Amino acid sequence: MSISASNASAADNWLSIVLSYWWVFLLFGGVILEFVGDVFTTVWCALTDIPKHRHERRMELRRLELEARGEGVPPTAPGLCRHRKAVPVRGAEGDVLAWLCRACDTQLPRDFSVYEEDL
């Protein structure tokens, strides 16, 4: 009987400790749950991004194959523009403030000549 009485008192001590320090669990329980949630989110994002990375790697390998065969990749930026489609930008008084090339959207200085032959 004394063994069961000592177990009962140990259980009561544990319960009293938990009830007296409930505020500690309230404060740090959220931090622990947030950490566990962040870990699961990180793992989930890593697992779901695998197909995206695989696709990017395949496209990179395809680009390298095209370059090795000499077919090349079309340029991403247009070549040098000769600004043949430049139009004047006029101010409120009608004077030319600058020139704008409609082909490449470049603002050119006021003294720009439309054609190179005019220089």
Q: Within this chain, do residues 30 and 64 fall inside the same structural domain, yes or no? A: yes
- For residues 84 and 113, give the distance between their C-alpha atoms in angstroms, rounded to a whole number: 10
Q: Within this chain, do residues 36 and 63 fall inside the same structural domain, yes or no? A: yes
Whether 93 is covered by a domain: the verdict is yes
What percent of the chain stands above pLDDT 90? 2
Q: What is the pLDDT of residues 81-102, one digit of tens each?
A: 777 888 888 988 888 888 888 8
* Residue whose tokens read 């991004």: 49
Q: Within this chain, do residues 14 and 65 fall inside the same structural domain, yes or no? A: yes
State which residues form the domain around 61: 2-69
Q: Within this chain, do residues 14 and 64 fall inside the same structural domain, yes or no? A: yes
Q: What is the pLDDT of residues 19-51, one digit of tens each?
A: 777 777 777 777 888 888 899 988 888 787 777
Q: Within this chain, do residues 60 and 113 fall inside the same structural domain, yes or no? A: no
Q: For residue 103, give the nearest of 77, 64, 72 by alpha carbon.
A: 77
Tokens of 78: 């247009």
- For residues 87 and 96, give the distance between their C-alpha atoms in angstroms, rounded to a whole number: 10
Q: Within this chain, do residues 65 and 10 fall inside the same structural domain, yes or no? A: yes
Q: Within this chain, do residues 11 and 65 fall inside the same structural domain, yes or no? A: yes
Q: Within this chain, do residues 90 and 64 fall inside the same structural domain, yes or no? A: no
